[in-house]
């Protein structure tokens, strides 16, 4: 077990290059501690090495990084800042004030590489990757696995989750930063730990992502929930969906369509009849649309509740007027996404009536759902000339919206969200698609990536008075990590 302990030490050293606070550098494994690693690995430890790798996905306040570090941007996971606020869908607060001005700087694109928004997401993703690499070293050690008594089926399931999650974190990193340090295993020496603190080309990271997803899929079962006792675990459906998303961002339209056909072949997912079912805390894991989510749970120690409910109660996360105006008249999705009179986002909170201000609430964070996947398919169909197929899917999304129950019990007038007409104008259909994605997926941390991959970020955001420049298509590498690397990590151009 000495080698495992040495890996722990090297991991602490490497994490100094990826934005850890002092407390994390002392204990980067999360659920594992040094004394646990310096003994024979038990089954519970092996299981925990994987379970802890999900934690950087959660919105729990200080759920990953202790110490209430607003100054480091690590109080919660920052997707909501880098996607919803940066895209001008969301304002920091309902009433503008001087609290956390770094979020305002992301909104108006006046930030520098010192801004903690970027450090926060960098830290969370690399904490996840390092935990996964440690778990991988355990699960691929035959003697270690045999000594725990773990079955082959369970080992394969956990390995599948590990490879998927590592791909997920790296995909987030390359979309935010481009070239990033690529660590596929724990370095065995200090010198090798230093050597990996350099940025690998984005193409190389994408190659690793695709490789991890292929391996993950080969190990996964076809079950919707591979572990019924813990349905939050990543499934084959999540793996295939992420493969399709990677292909979408690469504009590999035929692969997108092939993978979505494969996903549909599992028979596990469909649009829920009600729009809000994907977010309703009372329907978690009994609906049919959510493909990958983080499962917030109340009354756990350490805390595992939805911390966004707490900060929402402090006045955070308000819509921009431009976002509100994107919804067509009487679209029921608007009130579920943001209830302006009551200053609450039911979609974020997981309820239309409860949880505002409650950081122990159970509302999940949805990362991939089937409506999103269908809109990827519509985009790919439009790009490959199947205009009727693309319009049909857009209309399917609109039909589900207009037939959903409203949040306030009002009746939806006839003529709401009427079907888009037949068209062979690819540009017009893409406009419809872009509009539909914005309102269907509002406040789900998708928008800024959409604007970037469509090449519309500059035109959209500058028209709204934002200071977006071409180099802002990539965020800056956190300056504190460039400094700690001694210059081996090179900053993105423009920063």
Q: Write the CATH number for 195.
A: 1.25.40.390
pLDDT at position 58? 96
Q: For residues 183 and 6, what is the distance between their CA atoms, to the nearest angstrom?
A: 17
Same structural domain for residues 182 and 72?
yes
Domain assignment present for 322: yes
Domain assignment present for 113: yes
In tens, the pLDDT along 174-203 reads: 999 999 999 987 666 656 665 677 999 999
- Residue whose C-alpha is closest to residue 253's, from 381, 375, 436, 429: 381
State which residues of the chain have pLDDT below 50. 1-39
Same structural domain for residues 147 and 195?
yes
pLDDT at position 229? 97
Same structural domain for residues 282 and 194?
no
The answer to whether the CB of 136 falls within 8 A of the CB of 183 is no
pLDDT at position 26? 36
**How many residues are recorded in the chain?**
495
Domain assignment present for 249: yes
Same structural domain for residues 449 and 469?
no
Q: Which domain holds residue 138?
A: 1-88+100-220+464-495
Domain assignment present for 93: no
Same structural domain for residues 323 and 200?
no
Same structural domain for residues 291 and 337?
yes
Domain assignment present for 231: no
Please tell me the total count of domains within the chain.
2
Same structural domain for residues 309 and 197?
no
Same structural domain for residues 316 and 201?
no
In tens, the pLDDT along 282-303 reads: 999 999 999 999 999 999 999 9
List of residues 6+ apart from 122 with CB closer than 8 A = 18, 19, 173, 176, 177, 477, 478, 481
Same structural domain for residues 409 and 262?
yes
Contacts of residues 417-424 at CB distance under 8 Å and 24 or more positions apart, as own/partner, are: 417/328, 417/330, 417/331, 419/395, 420/391, 420/394, 420/395, 421/391, 422/387, 422/388, 422/391, 423/387, 423/391, 424/387
pLDDT at position 17? 43
Same structural domain for residues 198 and 297?
no
Its pTM stands at 0.93
Same structural domain for residues 128 and 19?
yes
pLDDT at position 66? 84
Domain assignment present for 226: no
Domain assignment present for 425: yes
Same structural domain for residues 306 and 174?
no
Domain assignment present for 317: yes
């Amino acid at each position: 077990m000495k080698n495992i302990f040495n890996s722990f030490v090297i991991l602490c050293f490497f994490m100094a290059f990826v934005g850890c606070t002092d407390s994390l550098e002392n204990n980067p494994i999360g659920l594992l501690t040094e004394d646990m690693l310096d003994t024979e690995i038990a089954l519970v430890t092996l299981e925990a090495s994987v379970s802890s790798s999900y934690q950087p996905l959660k919105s729990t306040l200080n759920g990953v990084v202790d110490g209430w570090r607003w100054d480091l941007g690590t109080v919660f996971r920052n997707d909501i800042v880098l996607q919803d606020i940066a895209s001008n869908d969301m304002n920091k607060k309902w009433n503008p004030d001087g609290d956390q001005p770094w979020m305002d700087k992301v909104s108006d694109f006046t930030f520098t590489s010192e801004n903690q928004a970027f450090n926060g997401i960098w830290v969370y993703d690399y904490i996840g990757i390092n935990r996964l690499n440690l778990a991988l070293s355990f699960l691929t050690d035959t003697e270690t696995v045999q000594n725990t008594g773990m079955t082959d089926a369970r080992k394969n399931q956990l390995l599948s989750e590990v490879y998927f999650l590592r791909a997920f974190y790296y995909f987030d990193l390359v979309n935010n930063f481009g070239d990033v340090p690529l660590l596929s295993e724990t370095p065995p020496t200090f010198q090798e730990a230093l050597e990996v603190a350099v940025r690998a080309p984005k193409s190389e990271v994408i190659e690793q992502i695709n490789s991890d997803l292929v391996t993950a899929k080969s190990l996964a079962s076809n079950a919707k929930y591979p572990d019924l006792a813990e349905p939050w675990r990543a499934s084959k459906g999540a793996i295939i969906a992420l493969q399709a998303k990677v292909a979408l961002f690469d504009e590999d339209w035929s692969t997108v369509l092939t993978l979505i056909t494969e996903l549909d072949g599992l028979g596990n997912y469909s649009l829920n009849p009600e729009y809000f079912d994907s977010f309703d805390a009372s329907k978690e894991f009994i609906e049919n649309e959510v493909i990958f989510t983080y499962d917030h749970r109340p009354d756990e120690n350490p805390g595992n509740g939805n911390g966004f409910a707490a900060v929402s109660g402090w006045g955070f996360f308000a819509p921009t007027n431009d976002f509100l105006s994107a919804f067509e008249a009487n679209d029921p999705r608007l009130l579920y996404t943001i209830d302006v009179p009551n200053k609450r986002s039911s979609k974020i909170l997981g309820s239309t009536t409860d949880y505002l201000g409650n950081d122990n609430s159970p509302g999940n964070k949805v990362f991939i759902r089937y409506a999103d996947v269908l809109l990827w398919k519509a985009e790919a169909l439009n790009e490959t000339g199947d205009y009727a197929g693309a319009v049909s899917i857009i209309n399917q999304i609109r039909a589900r919206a207009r037939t959903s129950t409203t949040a306030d019990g009002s009746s939806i007038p006839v003529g709401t969200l009427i079907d888009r007409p037949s068209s062979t104008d690819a540009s017009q259909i893409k406009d419809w698609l872009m509009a539909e994605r914005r309102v269907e997926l509002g406040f789900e941390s998708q928008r800024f990536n959409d604007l970037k991959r469509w090449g519309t970020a500059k035109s959209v955001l500058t028209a709204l008075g934002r200071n977006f420049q071409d180099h802002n298509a990539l965020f800056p590498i956190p300056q504190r990590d460039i400094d700690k690397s001694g210059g081996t990590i090179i900053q993105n151009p423009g920063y």
